[in-house]
Amino acid sequence: MSHTTLATVLFLLFVVGTLGITFWASRQNKTAADYYAGGRSFSAAQNGLAIGGDYMSAASFLGIAGLIALYGYDGFLYSIGFLVAWLVALLLVAELMRNSGKYTMADVLAFRMSPRPVRTAAGVSTIVVSIFYLLAQMVGAGALVGLLLGITSDSGKALTIVGVGILMIVYVVVGGMKGTTWVQIVKAVLLMGGATLVTLLVLGKFGFNLSGLIGEAAAQSGKGTAFTEPGLRYGTEAQGIWGKFDLISLGLALVLGTAGLPHILIRFYTVPTAKDARKSVLWGIGIIGTFYLLTLVLGFGAAAMVGSEAIRAENAAGNTAAPQLALAIGEAIFGEVGGTILLAVIAAVAFATILAVVAGLTLASSSSFAHDLYAHVFKRGEVTEKQEILVARISAFVIGAVSIGLGILAQAQNVAFLVALAFAIAASGNLPAILYSLFWKRFNTAGAVASIYGGLGSALILVIFSPVVSGRPTSLIKDMDFHWFPMENPGLFSIPIGFLCGYIATRMSKEYNESKYAEMEVRSLTGVGAEKASTH
């Protein structure tokens, strides 16, 4: 049996299993709290695994392993930023958000503001961030399929992306948050299992000598000791001073983005209390941190055993390094059959990863459309739960279709890099408004609207006029050059702009609601009046 057949069989098993879970979950979905927040009845450990499942995306698994394999140390920078970011979520956001919100990020932002403008802004920003993130996952799916099924034609890749898109729509539309959460849990266990297995095999091969592994990776990379130092990919000496600022911009976006990602924020609503939200983040940090330590070994292992030439030949951005490593290490230890099996397992796990994250993102953005834009803005709250959920399901279809289309268009980018852009946009558009509304008494409607549009808009504009979009051989549009912004990541400018817009607009408007802030503070710290778990 070839690895293609085996991987397809394993992946189909995952699909059948998770579809079973999804339909089982759909029979328990009765209320809006069930659909949007899984009835708020997941345990802290379950939600912690689901947080890991939502967060350890194709970007983490394929993208970071690939960056480390090709550029050595610089890929590790991503892991560190992605992990430290969880402290912002743990210390400042998770519990307070669980206590004062209901289904979406906008619930917290609109708590003491004039609801319609704030919900509109937050809904728009949720959907934009989610679509950027979705795009990255879809590109990952396209990269995998070439290696996995031997499909290299553009139409074949496009077909895979369509398939992934349709599956995720089914998960979300049928299973809601409950089904999606279980898919995340299953996927997190599979991913941790797969990554641990390959890591142990790689370490075993090098006699559990980390220094030896690193030495071999550096030697095989053809870059010598530079491979183990920062600067091969970001802030290279050739890029000059702007390259170095770009590195700092990336670092800032990574650390401040997590607590502004809508699909992560709604995870805090799926547990019964704020205490459980805290515990689930602790579980999440443990799982995610361990996973990034594993990817360090995977990346160096791929550099040492596969070699950067072979990786680049398969996928120029490095997205296939981890599955290629699985094949190489399997062959080296168990012979040809072993390599085939290991490649199939890792490829199926990677597919499962993409599918699950994509489902989480679709849920977050369609929930925000239905709950924030449709129910509260268009219908001014005059809508039944049934209608609202119907709209949520329809918008899941539409968002799924949009991300399928965009995914087909953007095949040549590294997925970790695309995700970094989504983080920059989340950190600029969402985080300032979230922190201000939780902690700043004087914050008001004008400030919330200005910080969201200011941060989101400046991040988008800077990306459009950056070398990512035009002016370089690796740009999205190759034949034109309209870039004037020297950096790839906008965070260094757009995050302060988001904070500044919020501050200035707040100061310029006299409005603010003292008593609602008192209510928010008391509720967010004590948990009085927090949404309860459903009892069925």
Partner 1 sequence: MTTQHHDSSVYEQIRATDRFQELRRRYRSWAFPMTVAFLVWYLLYVVLSAFARDFMAIKVLGNINVALIFGLLQFVSTFYISWAYSRHSAAKLDPLADELRGEIEKADK
Site of interaction with partner 1 (CB under 8 A):
31, 33, 73, 76-77, 79-81, 83-84, 86-88, 90-92, 210-212, 214-215, 218, 225, 228-231, 234-235, 244-245, 247-248, 251-252, 255, 275, 278-279, 281-282, 285-286, 289, 292-293, 514-516, 518-519, 521-523, 525-529, 531-532, 534
Least CB distance from residue 298 to partner 1, whole Å?
A: 15
Least CB distance from residue 245 to partner 1, whole Å?
A: 8
Residue with smaller CB distance to partner 1, 153 or 211: 211
Residue 104, helix vs strand vs coil: coil
Gap between the Cα atoms of 510 and 431, Å rounded: 23
Residue with smaller CB distance to partner 1, 216 or 314: 216
Residue 272, helix vs strand vs coil: coil
Residue with smaller CB distance to partner 1, 313 or 525: 525
Residue with smaller CB distance to partner 1, 296 or 354: 296
Residue with smaller CB distance to partner 1, 255 or 317: 255
Least CB distance from residue 535 to partner 1, whole Å?
A: 8
Match 């920078």 to its residue by tokens.
77
Match 């009892």 to its residue by tokens.
535
Residue with smaller CB distance to partner 1, 83 or 421: 83
DSSP 164-230: HHHHHHHHHHHHHHHHHHHHHHHHHHHHHHHHHHHHHHHHHHTTT-HHHHHHHHHHHHTSGGGGGSS
Least CB distance from residue 512 to partner 1, whole Å?
A: 13
Find the Cα–Cα–Cα–Cα dihedral 305, 310, 314, 316, rounded to 10°. Answer: 100
Residue 37 CB partners (closer than 8 Å, separation 6+):
102, 103, 177, 266, 269, 270, 531
Q: What is the DSSP letter of 532?
A: P
Nearest to 385 by CA among 224, 201, 226, 534: 534
Residue with smaller CB distance to partner 1, 244 or 312: 244
Least CB distance from residue 261 to partner 1, whole Å?
A: 18
Nearest to 229 by CA among 340, 71, 116, 109: 71
Q: What is the DSSP letter of 437?
A: H
Nearest to 117 by CA among 444, 391, 510: 444
Least CB distance from residue 237 to partner 1, whole Å?
A: 9
Least CB distance from residue 320 to partner 1, whole Å?
A: 24
